[in-house]
Amino acid sequence: MIELRSGAARLQVLPEYGGRIHQLWVAVDGREEPLLVAPEDPAAYGESPLGGGCYPMAPWPNRIAGARFPWAGRTIDLRANDGANALHGLVFDRPWEVIARAGPRVELRCDLGEHWPWDGYAWQRIELSAAGLLVKLEVRSRREAFPAGVGLHPWFRRDAAGAEHVRVRVPASERYMLRDQIPTGERVIPAGDFDLREPGPIGERRLDDCYTGLTGPSVIDWGRVQLEMTIECPEPHVMIYTPENAICIEPQTCAPDALNLRTSSERTGLALAEPGRAVSLISRWSWRIM
């Protein structure tokens, strides 16, 4: 475990469990308040790596339908871990190597492994400040170009700082239509329970949806703490997942199943990782104590 501190903010990183952020604390009235859903014992990630902290998703974020996709005249078969689908990439349950550490900053690296047919690796930098966090995540190729996307999967608490009714804003002009949790390629203007353009309580809305056309930062408002999240990449996407115990606002470079959607849509955010040219995402989180 690696601990970073800056001012009253504190963060723990677990290189051995997917290179994830295990917990992020901010100070409210002199008391540390955890913002992420996380097990008391980090070893629990060994059995359940998908359900806590904030982990990197690479070389694709979210789902790949049927755990396969076509590329250059062949079919690429992936590891299925969500029924018949491949979920959240190949590095969330692998140990990461710490390659640099200085003050409140750490850099890590992880090979994509045997389930990926190209020679590449994921790299990330996590940097904490007194009122913010920067995470830069990349997929890099050592040899030939390959298709890729990246994302982060934070599990934010619903009850951070004693909140009873957390409010969320995601200023996105488009939402992907889904079939069996997989985008069809069609995009619509968000409406009804799916419209998060104005701040509002999540409550019992159970979302598992992808948005794009972002016009500003996403916001989580717990009352005493307000967090803003920005996404920097050519085609910013954000996945919103709201199970009963958490709110997941997931910055991504591309849509779910972008490796298959590219055949029917040109605006999925899918990119090529090439030697000397990474597929990259920067997400900045900033918080205010109210």
Percentage of the chain beyond pLDDT 90 is 90
What does the mean pLDDT of the chain come to?
95
Global pTM value: 0.96
CA distances from 48 to 43, 93, 203 (A): 9, 9, 26
CATH classification of 2-289, choosing from 2.70.98.10, 3.30.470.20, 2.40.400.10, 3.60.9.10? Answer: 2.70.98.10
pLDDT of residue 234: 94
At residue 266, does pLDDT exceed 70? no
pLDDT of residue 132: 96
At residue 264, does pLDDT exceed 80? no
What's the pLDDT tens digit per position in 53-64? 999 999 999 999
Q: Span 132-155, mean pLDDT?
A: 97
Q: Span 80-104, mean pLDDT?
A: 95
| pLDDT band at 263; cut points 50, 70, 90 | low
Q: Span 245-250, mean pLDDT?
A: 96
Q: How far apart are CA 289 and CA 204, in angstroms?
A: 26
Q: Span 272-279, mean pLDDT?
A: 95
Residue spans of the domains in the chain: they are: 2-289
Cβ neighbourhood burial of 266 (10 Å; 0-12, 13-18, 19+): exposed
pLDDT of residue 46: 93
Of the candidates 168, 140, 125, 150, the one whose C-alpha atom is nearest the C-alpha of residue 237 is 150
Q: Span 18-38, mean pLDDT?
A: 97
H helix or E strand, kind and range, residue 98: strand 97-102
pLDDT of residue 185: 86
What's the pLDDT tens digit per position in 161-209? 999 899 999 999 999 999 888 999 899 999 999 999 999 999 899 999 9
Q: Span 139-150, mean pLDDT?
A: 96
**Total residue count of the chain as it appears in this document:** 290
H helix or E strand, kind and range, residue 244: none
CB 25 within 8 A of CB 10: yes
CB 142 within 8 A of CB 278: no
End-to-end CA distance of the chain: 31
pLDDT of residue 267: 77
pLDDT of residue 25: 97
Q: Span 226-241, mean pLDDT?
A: 97
At residue 265, does pLDDT exceed 60? no
pLDDT of residue 100: 97
pLDDT of residue 66: 95
At residue 133, does pLDDT exceed 80? yes
